[in-house]
Chains A and B, each alone.
Chain A
Amino acid sequence: NAGVTQTPKFQVLKTGQSMTLQCAQDMNHEYMSWYRQDPGMGLRLIHYSVGAGITDQGEVPNGYNVSRSTTEDFPLRLLSAAPSQTSVYFCASSYGSSYNSPLHFGNGTRLTVT
């Protein structure tokens, strides 16, 4: 049981480049989300999805796009990378989005934008 799988683990981009961070889960979870982690700021929600075809913005959505065509996959797209997007990105999922559902996290992607 792989859980939540994120690829790549590391990525370096130049300003203006685009890329997609991949996230897949094999737990049949309806809820999926993307967070970014920056020093001293904890984890901040970028986008989330409550099921295939349904996405919504979180706290810091600017510069990122998402889509959810299947239950399993929730890719995060950076359209035009900026140095401010240098961060560690986590994908996380839960069975439902009730208040008592813990999130299960992937191992993260460390992104550097130069």
Chain B
Amino acid sequence: AQKITQTQPGMFVQEKEAVTLDCTYDTSDPSYGLFWYKQPSSGEMIFLIYQGSYDQQNATEGRYSLNFQKARKSANLVISASQLGDSAMYFCAMREGDMEYGNKLVFGAGTILRVKS
């Protein structure tokens, strides 16, 4: 079964507007972390933001925020005031498990975001 689902293969947003990229996850483990990565056309993977399962507040990092709805098992990325440089592939990922070692990071299929001027 899919652990991470990103239902939007591609999204367009107008420059300076906000955009939400969807991510749902599946786990029965009480301890897990959710991560978002950005992959620009140059190919590198850039870590954007992290949300832990025990965190009471939504994570924020500059223009990035994570809308964490635990009961719905969703962890949507919100980008405010979009910029042309935000055009990229965005991946949602989850790392689950209480083990001290060996917890693996599992990725969704990604969403391509295009920012229009």
Interface size grouping (class) on chain B = 20 to 34
Q: Which residues of B contact A102 (CB under 8 A)?
A: 35, 47, 50
Task: Identify which of residues 16-60 in chain A touch chain B, using a CB-to-CB cut-off of 8 Å.
Answer: 31, 33, 35, 40-45, 48, 50-51, 56, 58
Most buried by B among A44, A102, A107, A110: A102
* Bound Cα distance from A40 to B110, whole angstroms: 7
Across the interface, name the chain B residue whose C-beta is closest to A41. B109
Across the interface, name the chain B residue whose C-beta is closest to A50. B101
Choose the segment among B66-74, B77-85, B92-100 that binds chain A (4+ C-beta atoms closer than 8 Å): B92-100
| Count of A interface residues, CB-CB < 8 Å | 30
Q: Are the C-beta atoms of A108 and B109 separated by less than 8 Å?
A: no
Most buried by A among B44, B99, B103: B103
Q: Are the C-beta atoms of A98 and B109 separated by less than 8 Å?
A: no
Given A35, A41, A99, which contacts B103 in the complex, CB threshold below 8 Å? A99
Give A residues with C-beta under 8 Å from B: 31, 33, 35, 40-45, 48, 50-51, 56, 58, 88, 90, 92, 96-105, 107-108, 110
Q: Which 9 A-B pairs have the closest CB atoms?
A: A105-B45, A42-B107, A50-B101, A43-B107, A99-B33, A42-B109, A99-B95, A100-B33, A97-B103
